[in-house]
Amino acid sequence: MFSLQLFSANPNPFLHPKPYPKSKRTHVSSVLRWNRKPELAGETPRVVVITSGKGGVGKTTTTANVGLSLARLGFSVVAIDADVGLRNLDLLLGLESRVNYTVVEVLNGDCRLDQALVRDKRWSNFELLCISKPRSKLPIGFGGKALVWLVDALKAREAGSPDFIIIDCPAGIDAGFITAITPANEAVLVTTPDITSLRDADRVTGLLECDGIRDIKMIVNRVRTDMIKGEDMMSVLDVQEMLGLALLGVIPEDSEVIRSTNRGYPLVLNKPPTLAGLAFEQAAWRLVEQDSMKAVTVEEEPKKRGFFSFFGG
C-alpha cells in the first residue's frame, strides 16, 4: 500500500523516482510545507478549463481541489461552474447555501457581478461563480462570447484581476463544452485509465487544439496500483503514450474523495492529508509553475512502469 512517508520533504518527489533512504524520511503533512512558494508562470489571469469529454471522470473534483490548493498557495482564484443546469461544484465546496445569484442574473442586470461571486470562508482568495441555477435552461444566445465577457469583467474588477480563473467544463463536446473552452488559454484534461475515457480525451484534445488551445496537460484520475500490477488497468505511462500529453498529476482511487464530496469539504483541506489530496496539491503546484511530469517518463525504466514508480516505489 501507499505510505505518506513516500512524500518526503524533497521539493519535487516526482523527479526522484528512487525511494529516499529511511533515515532521511520525514513525515510531511502537506506539500505546502515545501520551503518556497511556487513561482507563477505566464500572464495573469491564467484562464484554465478543466475538461474531459467523458462524464464522471473527476472534472469537478479536480476543479474544487486544484482551485483550493491554488488559493492555499496564496493565489487569487475564481472557479466558474460552467456545467449549466447540472452544476455541482457548489456542493463539492460546501457553498450551495450561499449561491444567491448566478451569471444569468448578472447578464440580465438583476445583480452586480460581485454579488454573484461567492467567497469561500475558509480561503478568502477563493471565489465561486455559477453560470445558472440547477436544472435551469440557459437564455438563448448564451455562449462563448458571454463567458469571454465574464472573464474580461473579472479582469477589470476593482478588487483586481484574479491570478487564476478555473472553468469546470460540462461533459460531452456539444454547445456547453464549446462555451466553456472559448475564454480559456490553457486546459487540464482529466481522464481515467480506461479506453472509453481515453478515446473521448483524445477527441477533446483535437477540439481544444482546433480552438487554439495548445497548452494542454492531463490528470490521470482514479488510478489503482493493484490493478496496474495485475495488468487489469493501463499504467500511467500507457495513458501518456496514447494521448501524448504532458502529465500534470496522477490521482489514486481514494474512498476519501467520495467522503469529502458528500461532506462538501474538499479533500485538500483534510487533516491529516490523504494521498489523493496530496496528489491534487502537487498538480496545483505544477500548474502554477507550468511544470509537467514529462521528465519522469523519459527517465523511467520500462520494467518499472506503473503508478508506483511516480511515488518512488
Ligand X SMILES: Nc1ncnc2c1ncn2[C@@H]1O[C@H](COP(=O)(O)OP(=O)(O)OP(=O)(O)O)[C@@H](O)[C@H]1O
User: Which one of the spans 13-21, 52-60, 106-114, 129-137 is the region binding Mg ion (CB under 5 A)?
Assistant: 52-60
Q: Interface with ligand X includes 55 (CB under 6 A)?
A: yes
The DSSP result for 163-175, as a single string, is SEEEEEPPSSSSH
197 binds ligand X (CB under 6 A): no
The cell numbers describing 123, all together, are: 480561503
Site string for ligand X, 2-21 (x = CB under 6 A): --------------------
List strand residue ranges (DSSP E) for 174-295, in order. Answer: 186-191, 215-223, 246-252
Helix and strand element counts for the chain (H, E) = 13, 8
Is residue 62 involved in binding Mg ion (CB under 5 A)? no
The number of residues that bind ligand X (CB under 6 A) is: 19
d(CA 73, CA 89): 20
Judged by CB under 6 A, which stretch of 26-34, 59-67, 132-140, 201-209 contacts ligand X?
59-67
Q: Does 270 bind ligand X (CB under 6 A)?
A: no
Dihedral pair phi/psi, residue 241, rounded to 5° = -65, -40
52 contacts ligand X (rule: CB under 6 A): yes
Residue type, 202: D
Where helices occur in 234-293 by DSSP H, the ranges are: 236-243, 255-263, 275-289
Alpha carbon distances (Å) from 304 to 133, 243, 293, 311: 48, 20, 16, 11
CB nearer to ligand X: pick between 211 and 253 = 253
Which residue, 19 or 85, has its beta carbon nearer to ligand X? 85
Residue closer to ligand X, measured from CB, 182 or 221: 221
> Is 59 a binder of ligand X (CB under 6 A)?
yes
102 binds, among ligand X, Mg ion, none (CB under 5 to 8 A by kind): none
Interface ranges with ligand X (CB under 6 A): 52, 55-61, 83, 171, 221-222, 251, 253-254, 257-258, 261, 276
